[in-house]
Structure 1
Amino acid sequence: MVKKILNIDTPFLREVGEISHFTARFFKEITKPKQEYEEFINQCFWIGYKTLTLVGITAFIMGLVLTIQSRPTLVEFGAESLLPSMVSVSLIREIAPVITALICAGKIGSGIGAELGSMRVTEQIDAMEVSGTNPFKYLVVTRVMAATLMVPVLSSIANAISLYGGFLGVNIRGHVSWHLYWFQVFDALSFGDVVPSLIKTFFFGFAIGVIGCYKGYNSKKGTEGVGRSATTAVIVSSLLIFIIDLIAVQITDLLGLT
């Protein structure tokens, strides 16, 4: 359509158009019976549970390091008591959701891209079509739905673990009781901090699932194409995460939730 109207045809616009068409096909297929619930549960297990350890370790270190690094600056201004509040707002609003999404883009996006790419170049997807199975619904819809659901779950768990890491970081050179720390954490947080942060993680997961499936499903050129699909899936989904985050911040600012 862009080519016909503006007489412009570039690889970037062609890629955007193909991804948009792929996304539209996803919404079309998701409304048709029958749904592959068993495969969906299986993908939730591999995408969610198998990524939990990596996300948990990263979140813990993230909360611990942020607290330790922030203390000297607050001490200079005599505001050391604000450390739990500052750390909680920083982690919940931006750091934990974005870092978790980037980890998922690296692990989940590349995994989906490589898996579907291998199935494409070995003609397994073509065999599914010949046998009467809908490969798009079985392979793509289930993975996109699982990624959309599991990334917010992983992000919520990362929030809790990173805040616990912050508690340990606060008590390395000081002493704040368990009850006082969590009172300051929840007192600093508001509706505008938690809900928009959670909502945007659904879009993060959707972007990771769509890009990973698109790159793998349309993989070409044999084994070289499989590696390229996995690599580009990570790059494009990571870029989309930052773009979605920027849009989310602008919307929450316009709504007065910041």
Structure 2
Amino acid sequence: MVNLIRGCGRGWNQIGLQAEFYFRTLHSIGDAALHYRKEVLRLIAQMGLGVGALAIIGGTVAIVGFLTLSTGAVIAVQGYNQFANIGVEALTGFASAFLNVRIIAPGTTAIALSATIGAGATAQLGAMRINEEIDALEVIGMRSIAYLASTRVIAGVIVVIPLYCVGVAMSFTAARVGTTAIYGQSTGVYDHYFNTFLNPTDLIWSFVQSITMATVIMLVHTYYGYNATGGPAGVGEAVGRAVRASLVVAAFVVTAMSLAVYGQSGNFNLAG
């Protein structure tokens, strides 16, 4: 019983420490944007295009593009076949306009952000922590949370906007090409149902989802990297814990925002 109480107490303290770090990071965003603009620009370039050999293939842009390309192709394959079973394969364009924007593109982008930008941020901060570089920054008077965590949150939110544009465009393109070029559906029929059911408001909410997920993912990853312990093995453990936590939180954000936006009426009208 005593061990259970102690475990609950440690868990509660951990939640409090995380909440304090997130509050301090968000509170320092203005300070980071004002005093550490060069660091923000450097992180934007690094997150968007990658460094070293990764920059040759386009870095995170290429990864997000290929992931959403594959999910868009799944819409074409599964949507066309399932609709064809009941004789309404013309509605494949509706499936692309409806599912890609509301569920598939945000979820896929969250996975890509967590596995690339987020994991990289955790590894960088963890390496700085075990090499005592963060302690050195604090000794010379640098605001370490603003310089290391807040700048990465700003960069992640800025980078996710063009990344999400690429992801949505690739998912739409893959679904259209798969349905029309591979399955032979008329492009006019596909475009008619796609344009009929593609709601601009849904796209706006989808972008809001992506920005919220980017903020949450970067907060989680910077926390685990900033507080990494245990040497190189501890950094690897921190990356794993951060990816697991960010994926869970991202799924919760997608679900909660979808219920908040579409939960009552669904913003859907089968007409037109």
TM-score by length of 1: 0.90
How far apart are residue 11 of structure 1 and its match? Answer: 3.6
Give yes or no for the alignment of 1:91 onto 2:100: yes
- What are the ranges of 5 or more consecutive residues in structure 1 without an aligned counterpart? 1-5
How far apart are residue 195 of structure 1 and its match? Answer: 2.0
Instruction: Say which is worse superposed, 122-131 or 146-155, in terms of deviation.
Output: 146-155
Contact 1:117-1:229 within 8 A present in 2 as well: yes
1:3 matched residue in structure 2? none
- Which residues of 2 match residues 3-82 of structure 1 at below 5 A? 9-32=8-31, 34-49=34-49, 50-82=59-91
Contact 1:36-1:142 within 8 A present in 2 as well: yes
CA RMSD between the two structures: 2.0
2:175 matched residue in structure 1? 166
Contact 1:63-1:165 within 8 A present in 2 as well: yes
- Which residues of 2 match residues 1-258 of structure 1 at below 5 A? 9-32=8-31, 34-49=34-49, 50-171=59-180, 172-177=182-187, 181-254=190-263, 256-258=265-267
Amino acid at match of 2:69: F
Amino acid at match of 2:47: I
Amino acid at match of 2:25: F
SS of alignment partner, residue 32 of structure 1: helix
Deviations 1:113-142 (A, max 9, x none): 111000000001111112222222211111
Instruction: Say which is worse superposed, 130-139 or 156-165, in terms of deviation.
Output: 130-139
Query: How many percent of aligned residue pairs carry the same amino acid?
Result: 26
- What are the ranges of 5 or more consecutive residues in structure 2 without an aligned counterpart? 50-58, 268-272
Contact 2:106-2:254 within 8 A present in 1 as well: no
Contact 1:67-1:166 within 8 A present in 2 as well: yes
Contact 2:31-2:146 within 8 A present in 1 as well: no
| Counterpart-to-counterpart distance in 1, 2:67 and 2:103 | 15
| Counterpart-to-counterpart distance in 2, 1:72 and 1:256 | 28
Contact 2:91-2:190 within 8 A present in 1 as well: no
Contact 2:29-2:151 within 8 A present in 1 as well: no
SS of alignment partner, residue 82 of structure 1: helix
Instruction: Say which is worse superposed, 122-131 or 11-20, in terms of deviation.
Output: 11-20
Cα pair distance change 1:214/1:189, threshold 3 Å: same
Instruction: Say which is worse superposed, 139-148 or 33-42, in terms of deviation.
Output: 33-42
Aligned residue pairs total: 252
Consecutive aligned runs of 4 or more in structure 1 exceeding 6 Å deviation: none
How far apart are residue 57 of structure 1 and its match? Answer: 1.1
Contact 1:113-1:212 within 8 A present in 2 as well: yes
